Amino acid sequence: MIISVIGAGSWGTAMASLLSKKGYQVKLWVRRKELITQLNETRVNNIYLPEVILGENITFSSDIEYCCKAAEIIVIATPSHTVRETAEKIKKFVNKDQFIVNLAKGIENETLLRMSQVIQEVLPDNRVVTMSGPCHAEEVARDIPTAIVSTAKERASAEYIQDVFMAPSFRVYTNPDIIGVELGGALKNIIALGAGVTDGLGYGDNTKAALMSRGIVEMARLGEALGANKLTFGGLSGIGDLIVTCTSMHSRNRKAGIALGQGKSLHEILEGTSMVVEGIRTAKSAYFLAKKQGVEMPITQEIYDLLYNGTHVKESVINLMMRSKTHEIEDIAAINNSEWI
């Protein structure tokens, strides 16, 4: 089988490595020609994934037609804000029998669409599968045991991709709730920015635990409003991805949050990294999506105000801590309301 991976960032490179170890022929599309030269000479992506040697059955190319041709599966591993552009690039080289696998985690700013919806708009005849979960590329590439979720509109598509990607160090589950899986992967990046802010301010474990617990509540709240099953947010693409992104120094979102907490501006943060910090754009999408749906998302509101309205971090903390008092879990309070005196 030939599998094409579009995007040679850390995640695309890690996925190409994983698939090559399973014996597939992998075509890795690389945007920058100078990186192709380096990859061919060293078989190491020193920019995005240093110290990981890539298999001989991976071919590097900047020719997107060549990469798409004859591939049974095309994996889109670009940042979320370039997914539509990527789908448009491959459109004339794709046939309806090819599976499109989306690895991006985000919500499009302009349309407020999830990534599979964006791809389906451009490639309406293809089967689109999203894979999401607590997966740092640095660890997947080093064969550290990892679990992820495969989801699609059709069960057969999700299970097919499950079979293709499953490996001794890479366990793949399926979930029919594509809305919940994609929203979990996108929204947790906003909460991770907040977790980083608490670290940058020098706060402790109590603060982070509170932020994560309340974060998953508002993630599920928006998910339900958009048709997701709230149980999904208790799984790998919800609480699982939230834990890893809020606690790991591999997390770009947490690192950016730390810088915010230490007083750096958004401009300084973006200037200081070559990596994409997905939560920055997603905070804008989620803020407007919550407004549109009439859903209360106080953490998302404060992160949006930090990023785009210049609110001071300590003011945001006070805003969250001094909100109107309420029950912790509304469902339990509603059920027990008549019995709790």
What six digits make up the tokens of 339?
A: 């019995």
What six digits make up the tokens of 172?
A: 């793949």
DSSP state of 239: I
Task: Round to whole Å and give the CA distance between 240 and 245.
Answer: 9
Q: Which residues pair with 26 in a beta bridge?
A: 3, 58
Q: Which helix (H) or strand (E) holds 131?
A: strand 127-132
What six digits make up the tokens of 95?
A: 């046939």
Q: Do the bridges between strand 44-45 and strand 49-53 make them parallel or antiparallel, or are there none, so unpaired?
A: antiparallel
Q: Which helix (H) or strand (E) holds 320?
A: helix 313-321
Please confirm, yes or no, whether 21 is among the known catalytic residues. Answer: no
Q: Which of 21, 27, 188, 208 is catalytic?
A: 188
In sequence order, the 6+-apart residues with CB closer than 8 A to the CB of 333 are 327, 340
How many CB atoms are located within 10 Å of the residue 200 CB? 20
Cα 189 → chain centroid? 7
What six digits make up the tokens of 108?
A: 């499009």
3-state secondary structure of 162: helix
**Active-site positions?**
188
